[in-house]
């Protein structure tokens, strides 16, 4: 009977140490997730009493959505819109939790809601809602302004390479006028402030112009004889 050669892969001590560390981190993460879920369930139990298995599963599902979803769920965006556009004053945590539960159609714990409100994309969406459409457009334009400058420079280089000097002039002249205007801006007219004493103000208020007397001169009689 032929013997089969058995090859054993010998790992470097550092590689073995890295594998052990990675497995340890995975176990620690799983344990942390389990403890967090249990704590959330305990918080919910303190709020609403006994938690059923269905509620426990719903709480876990909401926690996974908040922690691991790459984008905001529709109920998360609806909550951000309510928080930003419908609340004239900052709502209490109890009111926020009730609103989040109604939008998610699922139990939402206090810790989960705070975690949602701290998400980067949630904070960004709230800020966009606060800015309004015009401010959003202005902010996006300012962010893309370097690209516009680079595109203008590229078009100018292409026109120069093609020896299209009319196009070069049309692109360069507006920039020169903007950077070095031909006419300097007119200086603002100087304002003059007159300070009056209280007596002067009173005198102006009580001043009465003297009556004007108009006397008619006698008409001269011209003889025609």
Q: What is the pLDDT of residue 116?
A: 94
Instruction: Read off the pLDDT of residues 116-160 as tens digits, 9 standing for 90 and up.
Output: 999 999 999 998 888 876 666 666 767 777 887 788 788 878 888
Cα torsion angle, 112, 113, 118, 122, sign: positive
Mean pLDDT of the chain: 75
Please report how the helices 93-104 and 74-81 are oriented relative to each other, as an axis angle in degrees rounded to 10: 140
Residues near 115 by beta carbon (within 8 Å), at least 6 away in sequence = 66, 67
Instruction: Read off the pLDDT of residues 67-107 as tens digits, 9 standing for 90 and up.
Output: 998 999 999 999 999 998 888 888 999 999 999 999 999 88
**pTM, two decimal places:** 0.42
Instruction: Read off the pLDDT of residues 151-179 as tens digits, 9 standing for 90 and up.
Output: 878 887 888 888 887 877 777 777 777 76
Indicate the domain borders of the chain: 14-131, 134-179
**Is the confidence at residue 216, as pLDDT, over 90?**
no
d(CA 20, CA 13): 11
């Amino acid at each position: 009977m032929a013997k089969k050669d058995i090859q054993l892969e010998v790992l470097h001590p550092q590689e073995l140490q890295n594998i052990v560390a990675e497995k340890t981190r995975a176990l620690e993460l799983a344990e942390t997730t389990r403890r967090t879920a249990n704590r959330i369930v305990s918080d919910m139990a303190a709020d609403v009493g006994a938690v059923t298995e269905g509620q426990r599963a719903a709480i876990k599902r909401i926690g996974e959505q908040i922690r691991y979803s790459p984008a905001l769920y529709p109920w998360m965006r609806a909550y951000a819109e309510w928080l930003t556009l419908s609340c004239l004053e900052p709502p209490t945590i109890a009111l926020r939790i009730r609103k989040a539960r109604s939008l998610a159609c699922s139990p939402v714990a206090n810790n989960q809601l705070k975690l949602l409100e701290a998400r980067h994309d949630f904070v960004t969406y709230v800020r966009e809602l606060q800015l309004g459409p015009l401010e959003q457009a202005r902010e996006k334009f300012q962010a893309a302004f370097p690209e516009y400058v680079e595109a203008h420079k590229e078009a100018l280089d292409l026109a120069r390479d093609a020896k299209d000097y009319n196009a070069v002039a049309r692109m360069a002249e507006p920039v020169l006028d903007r950077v070095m205007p031909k006419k300097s801006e007119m200086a603002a007219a100087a304002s003059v402030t007159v300070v009056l004493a209280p007596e002067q103000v009173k005198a102006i208020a009580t001043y009465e112009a003297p009556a004007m007397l108009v006397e008619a001169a006698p008409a001269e009689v011209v003889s025609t004889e």
